[in-house]
Structure 1
Amino acid sequence: MCITGSLADFSLPQVFCLLETGHQSGLLTLHPEGTDHTSSNQAYYIWVYRGQLVGMANLLDHQGLVSLIAQQRWLKDICPSSLFAKLNRLCPKHQPLGSYLKKQGILTNQQLKWLFQSQVLQPLCDAFQLKAGHFRFDHNVPLPTIEMTGLSISATLATLMGLRNLPSWDALANHLPDPDMGLASLGTDQSEFPLNDLEWQVWTYTDCMMSLKSIAQYLQLPLKTVQQIAFRLIAIGLAEEMSLAVEDDYTPAIESQSSGLHQDSYREVVSYSFLQHLLGFLVPKAS
């Protein structure tokens, strides 16, 4: 199965949500606008296993993780020029390279976490800033174990973390929820997500019949900050936009606890009804 689309129509957080909801496995390719879709240059390759991100690279030469290891000089007894060939030969084809090296006592847990941060989490911030481009998801593409640390992160949690560290929201500006809309809870257990202080505060106003504009005023936060927080709550499936039938003069009994908290930002508009509509298409057929 192959799914293609434009990032102008479906944002990366939406695509991630679909992949996790459908428990998909395969290769997600992102091509920024203006690049040749048949070329590997300037592309992002993200390997997914049952809705979990397990690896990421900018090239399909399968040498990205080995290059990171070589840069850190953690395998000093192996010549850098022959490192890829030797590891490719030694590592079992069914086992992630990182897990193999840890089992051999060559890498530590902390080193694996650093590799995953550098290989997957940091590049995701760049991917979230793509203003235009195309995506392609190829189902059941064999996972390159030599590009895998053995660690993984759910697509929605990766979205939350990526949006929190987003330097610029220009690419997602048109996806932010309307200031005059409210937030409705989708009944998802919020304890599954490590919400920070501001996210938690905005979350408490779901189903309160208050617009984002009023929430921002009540919490004494910039409206853009509240919109970005609301966006990420929507992106990870905790809430959806809610139309308000009347002007929200409502003042809740909850006292504001925003004083002394750091300002934050982030989130993208994911329509829950849209996800439900496409879910049947994304769930793979039994093989």
Structure 2
Amino acid sequence: MEITGYLSEFSLPELLKFLDQGSKTGLLSLKFKTNCHNQHLRIRHALLKQGRIVAVTDRLDHQCLFRIIYHRGWISPKVLSEQFNRCPANKPIGLYLKKQGFLQPEQLKFLFRYQVLRQVCGLFQLQDAQFIFNSKTTLPTTEMTSLSIRATEATLIGLRSLRDWRLLTSKLPGFDSALSRVFIDKLHWRLDPLENQVLQLADDSVSLKMIAHDLQQPLETIQKIAFRLISVGLVKELPTLTLASTAILTTKLPEPVAVVARDNEADRSSELSNSFMQNLLSFLRSSK
């Protein structure tokens, strides 16, 4: 089974959060254009095992990791080809080469950083892309080092490096919203100092505007940090009524029928969005 969509409708942080929390295994492919003048589609593949990213590659011909090792000059092409052919089909090639004495632990870490972490940051720079998640694809172990990272931790890294937030602007929590902390037995993510401070100040009654004031940070910075914390599941957005909205509610409205109609439209839009989310959740659970 597979599910498809566009990042303009369902963002990459949201998608990775579902895959992480559902401990999903499969192939996530992103198809995109480099610019509006170039109609040629490029593609990136993220290989996931139980909600963890094990590899990111631009091809599925078993040559991506091979090329990286070859260009580093660590193993001769002849020996490398022989070892690739001898590696058991169910064993990551990186782990196999390490056990055979061809790679050192530090070299494996370098390969993972180069192949996965650097590529992940690039995925978050995409203005739009079509995504396809296939839970039935056989993942090529010839692209795996044996190292992995949680999909939501990759989200943290990607969002920290993000410069252009236009695609995610509509996803940011409102400045009058509060943050409600989610109970977690153990913190699985390494937060930076400011992320830690925002998490500590997260309270059902403290708005992002108040947090920004307390930390003496731009409100936009706090909104982005809050979105990162929401994306990994540490907090939830809790909308709060402002004084202005309260005043509007207590004022007699001249066109109650028109307002009700707009409310109904908003309700239907919300129901449609919730329905889409529930369908996606059902797919992810069923394909585990």
Which category of TM-score, normalised to the shorter sequence, fits these structures?
0.7 to 0.9
Match in the other structure for 2:115: 119
Match in the other structure for 2:182: 186
Match in the other structure for 2:66: 66
Kindly indicate whether residue 105 of structure 2 is the aligned counterpart of residue 103 of structure 1. no
Match in the other structure for 1:42: 42
Contact 1:30–1:135 (8 Å) recurs in 2: yes
Where do residues 72-221 of structure 1 align in structure 2 (5 Å cutoff)?
A: 72-75=72-75, 78=76, 80=77, 82=78, 85-189=81-185, 191-221=187-217
In structure 2, distance between residues paired with 1:88 and 1:167:
39
In structure 1, distance between residues paired with 2:72 and 2:285:
40
User: Once superposed, what is the RMSD of the aligned Cα atoms?
Assistant: 2.6
TM-superposed deviation, 1:208: 4.2
Contact 2:175–2:219 (8 Å) recurs in 1: yes
TM-score, structure 2 as length reference: 0.81
Q: What count of residue pairs does the alignment treat as equivalent?
A: 257
Kindly indicate whether residue 275 of structure 2 is the aligned counterpart of residue 279 of structure 1. no
Once the two structures are superposed, residues 80-101 of structure 1 have per-residue CA deviations (whole angstroms, 9 ceiling, x without a partner) of: 3x46643331211111010001
Q: Can you give the 5+ residue segments of structure 2 that lack an aligned partner in the other structure?
A: 245-272
Contact 1:240–1:272 (8 Å) recurs in 2: no
Once the two structures are superposed, residues 96-130 of structure 1 have per-residue CA deviations (whole angstroms, 9 ceiling, x without a partner) of: 01000110111111111110111011111110111
Equivalent residue letter for 1:241: E
Where do residues 26-41 of structure 1 align in structure 2 (5 Å cutoff)?
A: 26-33=26-33
In structure 1, distance between residues paired with 2:137 and 2:40:
16
TM-superposed deviation, 1:235: 0.2
In structure 2, distance between residues paired with 1:242 and 1:272:
17
In structure 2, distance between residues paired with 1:247 and 1:277:
37
Greater Cα radius of gyration, structure 1 or 2: 2
In structure 2, distance between residues paired with 1:179 and 1:122:
32
Identical amino acids, percent of aligned pairs: 42
Contact 2:33–2:41 (8 Å) recurs in 1: no
Kindly indicate whether residue 13 of structure 2 is the aligned counterpart of residue 16 of structure 1. no
Range with bigger deviation, 157-166 or 271-280: 271-280
Once the two structures are superposed, residues 141-196 of structure 1 have per-residue CA deviations (whole angstroms, 9 ceiling, x without a partner) of: 11101100011111111111222222433332332221121111222346222112
Q: Secondary structure at the match of 1:191?
A: coil
Contact 1:66–1:83 (8 Å) recurs in 2: no
In structure 2, distance between residues paired with 1:70 and 1:3:
35
Contact 1:131–1:172 (8 Å) recurs in 2: no
In structure 2, distance between residues paired with 1:22 and 1:126:
24
TM-score, structure 1 as length reference: 0.82
TM-superposed deviation, 1:224: 1.5
Equivalent residue letter for 1:127: L
In structure 2, distance between residues paired with 1:131 and 1:157:
21
- Larger helix proportion, structure 1 or 2? 2
In structure 1, distance between residues paired with 2:40 and 2:149:
24
Q: Secondary structure at the match of 2:240?
A: coil
In structure 2, distance between residues paired with 1:221 and 1:275:
33
Match in the other structure for 1:56: 56
Equivalent residue letter for 2:284: L
